[in-house]
Structure 1
Amino acid sequence: MYSRNALRAATALTLIAVGAAQAEEITIATVNNGDMIRMQGLTDDFTAKTGHEVEWVTLEENVLRQRVTQDIATKGGQFDIMTIGMYETPIWARQGWLVPLDDLPADYDIDDILPAMRDGLSVDGTLYAAPFYGESSMIMYRTDLFEEAGIEMPDAPTWDFVADAARKITDRDNEIYGICLRGKAGWGENMAFLTTMANSFGARWFDEDWTPQFDQPEWKEAITFYLDLMEDAGPPGASTNGFNENLSLFQQGKCGMWIDATVAASFVTNPDDSSVADSVGFALAPDTGLGKRANWLWAWALAIPAGTQKEEAAKDFINWATSKDYLALVAEKEGWANVPPGTRTSLYENPNYADIPFAQMTLESIRAANPNEPTVEPVPYVGIQFVAIPEFAGIGTQAGQEFSAALAGQQTAEEALEKAQALTADEMEAAGY
C-alpha cells in the first residue's frame, strides 16, 4: 500500500511520462519575411509552454508556393504545418487536403478574427487556416523627399498624381528612385501587384464567359503606364525585384514611394532596420477614378495538411502563433509597432496600438478590398489579386514571366499582352472553361 507521499511522487512521474510521450517535433514550412523570422525567434516560448519542438523550413515566396503545393498534392508528408494564403486555402480545403480548425479552444476567440480574413480562409463557415497576419496594399512614401519637392501626398491619390510625383523626386545621380514596384515574375509576386493595378484601370482577367481579357484596351493602358513609369522613375534591375528586394531598397533610402503590402509598414518605420524610419508616410493605393483602388487582400496563414501524424501538436502551435497572447508577446519583446497586423479586431481596439502611425491606414485598406467585387466590370470569379481557381497559379506565373520580360526590355507591352492572352486562353480551354 502506497504512502501519501509515495502516491504523489508516482503521480508526478506518471504526468512527466505522459508529457514526454506527447511532446513532438513538428516541421513548419514558411516564407522568408520579417514577421515569420521574428516568430522563429520567439519559438522557445511555445516549446516552454507545450514541450513541442519546432523545425523550420524557411523559403523564398515563389519556392515556398512550389514546395508546399507539390507536397500536399502528392501527399508527401514533409510538413506538419504549411504557410499558405487566401488563394490556396479554399481550393485545398474543398479537395480534403487540409485539417479543419473547428476545435480550437474557446479562449482562442475565433470571432475576434477580422471578418475579411476569417471569410477568406474558411469554407462553408469552417476555418481551415489561421491568419498569422493580414494585409492589403498601400503607398509608403518618403515625406522628406515630398517636402523638398513641394508635393503634398493626398490620403487617396490617383495614378496620375503618383506618376507625376515619382518623376519629380527621382534623382538617379544619388540613387534615389521615385517609385519601386514589383517586377519579379510569379502569380504572388508581380502579378499580385499588376492585377490590382489593372483592376483600377478597369481591366479584368476574364469576362463573364471566362474569356481572357489581355487583348482589351484596359490591360494595354495599365501595362503601358506601368512600364513607362518604371522606365522613368524605377530602380535598375526592377524585373528581379519582389517584396523583399523592394523592402531593402526602401529601407536604404533608395525609393521615394513603394506600393506594396501594408505589413511592410513596421519594417520601414523600424529605426533598427530602416535609414528613413522617421520620414515615412502612408496613403491608400491609387485609382483612376473608376471606383476601384489598386489594393489587394491577403493573409499569410498557418494550415495543417491532412494526413500529418502530429495533428494535435500542430494545432497547439497554431493556437499559440495566431492568438491574442502571441500579439502581446511580440509587443512585450519588440514593441506594439512590430505586432503582426491585420488579423484581430481587438488589436485595432487596443489603445496601445491606436497611436501606431500606420494602423488606421492598414485597417482602411483592408476594409476597402472586396474580393467578391474586385473589378469595375462584373466577373465570374472571386479574388482581387488572384482568380480563385486551381489553374490560376500556373497561368498567373506564366503571364508574370511575360510582363517581367517586358520590364526587362526583352519585349514590348503589346508582345507581352499577346502572349499572356494566348497562353491563358489555351490553359482555360484545356481545363474545360
Structure 2
Amino acid sequence: MQQLHTKKSAAAFEAAQKRMPGGVNSPVRAFKNVGGTPLFIDHGKNQHIIDIDGNTFIDYVLSWGPLILGHADDQVVADLKKAAERGTSYGAPTPLETELAELVHQIIPSIEMIRMVSSGTEATMSAIRLARGYTHRDKIVKFIGNYHGHSDSLLVDAGSGMATFGITTSPGVPDALAYDTLTVPYNDTAAVKELFAHHGDEIAGVIVEPVAGNMGVVPGTQTFLQTLRDETTAHGALLIFDEVMSGFRADFHGAQGLRGITPDLTTLGKVIGGGLPVGAFGGKREIMEAITPVGNIYHAGTLSGNPLAMTGGISTLKQLSDADYVAMEKRVAALTAGIKHQADKHGIPMTVHHVGTMWSAFYSEGPINNFADVQACDQELFEKCFWQLLAHGVYVAPSQFETCFISTKHTDEDIEKTIEAYGAAFAAATR
C-alpha cells in the first residue's frame, strides 16, 4: 500500500476549474461519481501511469481503451516521431489513409469501404446521417444505457458519462430529435420485435453496442443481436454496430467477428488510432458510396485521415495478432476470477463480466443484463473500494458505469497484485 499524495493534483484541479467547466474537458474525469480530487497525470509507460504527485498505478483505464499496447509503446512512438517530422496535417490525401483502410478491411471484412473522422462521436453521428439519407427514413432505434457519443439525436437514455451524472436527456437537444429516436431496453428481444411490428417501415437504422461498454461491460446476447439483424433485414433498415469501444477489444476482429453477425455499417474509434484522436465509419460499398463526393449525403472534416492519426492506427494494428488476444484474454479471465473470489471471501455482492480485453466489476449480486441492472449496483461501496484501490496502486475507471481494459504490457505479476489490492480494498471497505 502506497501513501497516496494528492497535493499537486489538488492545486492543478483548482487552477483548471478557473478556465474549464468543472476543471475538465470530459466530465467523468472530474471524479464526481467517486468524490475527491481527480488525479492529474504526468506520464505513462507500458501498463503504468504516474501522476504529478509521483504516485504510480497499474492502469486499467488506458485512455478509456485505445492503448491496447500500453502507454508510449516504443514502436508507436518511433513511428509517430517520423510522421510528425514529415508534417502533422496536409488537408490532402496520403497513402497512409489507404493503408489503414486496407488493414481494417483485412481484420474486419464487413468494412468494404471506410471514411476516417476525428472522434467516435463524429463516427456515430455520420453513420446515423448516412442511414437516414440512404433509407430516406428518419427514425433511429437505440438502446437504454448505450452511449454513442454526444451528438444530439443519440443523447437520449445514454450510458457512460450521462449515467454517471444521472442525466437521461440533455438540455439543448430539441424535442423533435428525441421524437425520432426510439429507445428500447438492452438485450430485450421481445421489445425489439414489438417495436418493429409497429414502426418497422419508418426506421432508418438500429445502432447498438454489440458488447455494451458504456454501462460497464454488458454483452449483447447472441439471440438479441441476431434478432436485430433479422428485423432490420426484414424491414429494410440498416444495422449499425457501434464498435468504437469493442472494435479490436472484444476480439481482434471486433464483436461482430466474435458473434458471427455482419452489420451494414460499423463505427470505430479508440484502438484504430493507437491513442490519437480518430474515429471511422464504414461498411457495405453500396451504402458508403452514397456519401459525397460519390453520392449526395454530405460528410467532411479538416483533420479526417490526418497522417499522425493514421500512423498511430497502422503502427498499433500491425503489432497485434490473434496470439496477443489469447494471452490478454487469459489474463483477464484470471483477473476477474480472482476479483470474484476476493469478493466472495469478504462477503461483497459482486458480478464480474469480461469479454476479450474488456472487463467490469459490478457491485451487485446480479445478474447484469441491462442498464436497470447496472443502476441497482451499490455506488457507495464502489466509491469506497475505488479509493482503496488507488491507495494500493491500482487505477480503475472512476465510475461504476465505465469499462476497464487490459493491454499487451500487463503481466501475470500485475494481475496478482491487482487481485491482492481488491482483497485489501474489500477488507477495508467492510470494516
TM range (shorter): under 0.3
Higher share of residues assigned strand = 2
Higher share of residues assigned helix = 1
Which of structures 1 and 2 has the bigger CA Rg?
Answer: 1
Question: TM-score when scaled to structure 2?
Answer: 0.26
